[in-house]
Amino acid sequence: MSRRHFVASTAAASLGTLAIGAEPPRPAGDRRPVAISSANGLRAVERAIELVKAGHDPLDAAIEGVAIVEADPKDHSVGLGGLPNEDGVVELDAAVMHGPTHAGGAVASLRNIVHPAAVARVVMRRSRHVLLVGEGALRFARAHGFPEVNLLTDEARQIWLHWKETRDPKDDWVPPPDEKVAAFIREAIEPRVTGTIHCSVLDTHGDLGCTTTTSGLSWKIPGRVGDSPILGAGLYLDNEAGSAGSTGVGELNLLNLSSALIVDGMRRGLSPKDAIMDVCKTIAARCTRDPLRRRKDGRLAGNVLFYALTKDGKYAGGSIYPGAKMAVHDGDSARLVPCDSLYDRPPATDR
Ligand code: GLY
C-alpha cells in the first residue's frame, strides 16, 4: 500500500468523543498495518486499521476499535450488556499497553463506565500508577469526565435472573416453566460466558499498541479479577518483538503470565504460532497438576485463546481446545481466520 494512500485517508478517520488521553495523529508511515482481535473483534480491527492509516497511535486505534464492542449491548462478554457477577452487578476489567513508551495502565472491578479500556489509558497517562481497582478506579474515571451509566441491560438482567433461579433447586427462587424461557436466555447460559475482547495493532511506523477489555467470567464472586487487567497475563507487548493477548478462563493466565511468555517467545525468535503453542503446552502441563483444573479425562478444565502479532506483521491465534477463530485486518480487509489448538478434540462434557 502506497504512502499516498495513507495520507489520503487522513481526513476520513478521527477519534471518538471518549478519546481522553489520546495522542494527536502524526503523518502516517509507509509500513503495512496489521490489527488482530478475538472473534468478536471484526468491527474492532476495521476501525483500528482505519485509524492507524490516518496516522493515529496504535494504542488509541486499538482502544477505539474495542470501544465499538464495549458499547454493544448484544455482546454479553464486554462493557455495556456484559453479564454480571453473582449479585447481578456488572464489574469490568481492562488494560492497555503502549509500545513506543512501554507504558501500561489498567482498571479492575470497575462499575458504571462503558469504556474501561479508555479509563486504563488515562491511568497510564495521567497517574504514576498502573492498576486502579473498584471504587478508586470509578472515582478516578469520574474525575476525568467519564459518564456513568447502568451497565446491566434488561437482556443481561434476564439472563442473570434465569441463572439465579435455576442454580439451586433447594433455594426459594422459582424459575418459569421451560417453555417460557426465551431462546436468548438459553443460548447465553450454556456454556458459561468467559468471553472478552483483545486487540493488538501494528501501525504504519512499525509501532505496537494493545488492549484487553471484559466483563469477566459470568456470575463471578463479587470482586473477582481475571487476567484482562493484569499486564503479562491478559495482554503484553514489547515494541521490539511483538504483542499478545488472551480471552477465556483468566485464572489459567494468572497462573502462567501467558501473554508475557508468548511475547518473550517471539522476542527469542519463535513464530507467533510456535510461541502460542509453547505456552498452551506449559499451561496444560502445569495447571492439570491441580485437581480443580483437571477434567476426568486428564485434560485441562477450561479453555484459553491467544492472539499474537510480531513487530514485522506476522500473526497467529491459538487455543487449548479446537474451534476458535480470530479477527484479522492486514491492511486490505477484515476477516475471521481459524486458530490452531493444543488438543485435537473438544471436551465431551464441561468436566
Ligand atoms: N479472560 C477474561 C476473564 O477471565 O475475566
Contact call for residues 213 and 79 (beta carbons, < 8 A): yes
Confidence bin at 7 (pLDDT 50/70/90) = very low
**Does residue 207 share a domain with residue 272?**
yes
**Does residue 101 share a domain with residue 160?**
no
What is the percent of the chain with per-residue pLDDT over 70, rounded to a whole number? Answer: 94
245 lines ligand 1 (CB under 6 A): no
How is residue 74 annotated by DSSP? T
Q: Is residue 4 part of a domain?
A: no
Confidence bin at 21 (pLDDT 50/70/90) = confident
Domain range spanning residue 178?
Answer: 155-187
211 lines ligand 1 (CB under 6 A): no
Q: Is residue 325 part of a domain?
A: yes
Pick the residue with more confidence: 8 or 240? 240
**Does residue 37 share a domain with residue 59?**
yes
Degrees, nearest 5: CA angle 321-326-328: 160
177-201, pLDDT tens digit by residue?
988 999 889 888 877 766 799 999 9
**Does residue 198 share a domain with residue 316?**
yes
Residue from 37, 108, 100 nearest 327 by CA: 37
Q: Is residue 79 part of a domain?
A: yes
Q: Is residue 23 part of a domain?
A: no
Q: Is residue 212 part of a domain?
A: yes
CATH value at residue 92: 3.60.20.30
**What pairing do the DSSP bridges indicate for beta strands 92-98 and 208-214?**
antiparallel
Ligand 1 atom closest to 250 (CA): 4
Q: Considering only CA atoms, which residue is closest to atom 4 of ligand 1?
A: 250
Residue-level pLDDT at 189:
80
Tell me, what amino acid is at 144?
H
CA–centroid distance for 312 within its chain: 22
Q: Does residue 214 surpass a pLDDT of 90?
A: yes
Q: Is residue 8 part of a domain?
A: no
**Does residue 267 share a domain with residue 176?**
no
Query: What is the CA(345)–ligand 1 centre distance, in A?
Result: 23
Query: What is the CA(212)–ligand 1 centre distance, in A?
Result: 9
**Does residue 160 share a domain with residue 80?**
no
Q: Does residue 53 surpass a pLDDT of 90?
A: yes
Q: Does residue 4 surpass a pLDDT of 50?
A: no
Confidence bin at 225 (pLDDT 50/70/90) = very high
Residue from 200, 209, 197 nearest 56 by CA: 209
266-320, pLDDT tens digit by residue?
999 999 999 999 999 999 999 999 999 999 999 999 999 999 999 999 999 999 9
**Does residue 163 share a domain with residue 146?**
no
Confidence bin at 350 (pLDDT 50/70/90) = low
40 lines ligand 1 (CB under 6 A): no
Q: What is the DSSP string of 228-250?
A: TTSBTTTEEEETTTEEEEEEE-H
Strand partners of residue 95 = 106, 212
Q: Does residue 73 surpass a pLDDT of 70?
A: yes
Q: Does residue 8 surpass a pLDDT of 90?
A: no
Cell of 347: 471436551
Query: Region 3-23: what's the mean pLDDT?
Result: 60
Question: Looking only at Cα atoms, what is the longest distance across the chain?
Answer: 68
109 lines ligand 1 (CB under 6 A): no
**Annotated active-site positions, please?**
196
217 lines ligand 1 (CB under 6 A): yes
Q: Is residue 348 part of a domain?
A: no
Q: Is residue 351 part of a domain?
A: no
Residue from 199, 214, 294 nearest 248 by CA: 214
Query: What is the CA(31)–ligand 1 centre distance, in A?
Result: 33
Q: Is the dihedral of CA 124, 73, 138, 158 positive or negative?
A: negative
Give the count of domains, the chain.
2
pTM of the model: 0.94
Q: Which residues contact 295 (CB under 8 A, 6 or more apart)?
A: 301, 347, 351
**Does residue 301 share a domain with residue 167?**
no
**Does residue 61 share a domain with residue 178?**
no
